[in-house]
Amino acid sequence: MTNVGARRIAAAAVALVLGIGAFSGCTRSAPTVSEQTSPSASVRSTPYTTSPTPTPEETERDDPTDPDSWVVTERGIGPIDVGDDFPTVLDEIRGSGIGTLDTCDGVAYGVAEDNAYDVIVIKDRYDGTDEVVEVSVGWIGDTMGVGPRTDEDLGLGSTKAQVLGAYESAAEQPSDIADNSYVVVADEASKLVFTYRDGYDGAVAVSTLTGKQPSYEPCA
């Protein structure tokens, strides 16, 4: 220990002893209150007021410009339902950055701002209608649990056990694509499909569609 440090500790100890002595001396006799003291002479207390807690802003559900707010159902994802008119849908979600591809007719594509997932919207390219037949969200980042979710908070990254436990009608289904498998939640005219890839516990894609299985490389 340096001399400076020793002196600082010694000085602090002396001050502490003197402080204790002075405090003890003050407590030995009670202060005398003058008989002329009136209540008006007492210290007035300042009323304590609390500021209202600000209410957090709620995120708009299915905001066409914000895919993070989109809710997944058996009928669609966010503001896009299967059966909707393809051009009308694209006009509605234009602010999200999802748009058509010059080299791929009938397919709209966009990537989340943080590059964590992408969104694909596909119209009916076989019967010649403009109806949406599939909308899918795919995992392309490093973190699971991102993107649109169901009301049960299921989506990208959800395990098969979680999906099977949340929906009574959910069932596992093999895939025509090697190393892939599905958990399917069927509705009357469409289905909700969670796609799984060997080596990953969580869903790597979530789709709502009218076909048998989610499209694989729709622009190939």
The Cα-based distances of 202 to 70, 113, 158, 172 in angstroms read: 19, 22, 5, 14
3-state SS class at 3:
helix
With respect to residue 78, please indicate whether it lies within any of the assigned structural domains.
Answer: yes
With respect to residue 215, please indicate whether it lies within any of the assigned structural domains.
Answer: no
pLDDT band for position 58 (cuts 50, 70, 90)? low
With respect to residue 190, please indicate whether it lies within any of the assigned structural domains.
Answer: yes
How far is residue 58 CA from its own chain's centroid? 12
With respect to residue 73, please indicate whether it lies within any of the assigned structural domains.
Answer: yes
Question: Is pLDDT at 32 greater than 50 in this prediction?
Answer: no
| pLDDT computed for residue 143 by the predictor | 87
Question: Is pLDDT at 20 greater than 60 in this prediction?
Answer: no
Domain count, the chain: 1
With respect to residue 80, please indicate whether it lies within any of the assigned structural domains.
Answer: yes
Q: What is the mean pLDDT of residues 20-31?
A: 35
With respect to residue 11, please indicate whether it lies within any of the assigned structural domains.
Answer: no
Quote the domain boundaries for residue 201: 67-209
Q: What are all long-range contacts of 162-167, with beta carbons under 8 Å and residues at least 24 apart?
A: 163/194, 163/203
Question: Is pLDDT at 158 greater than 50 in this prediction?
Answer: yes
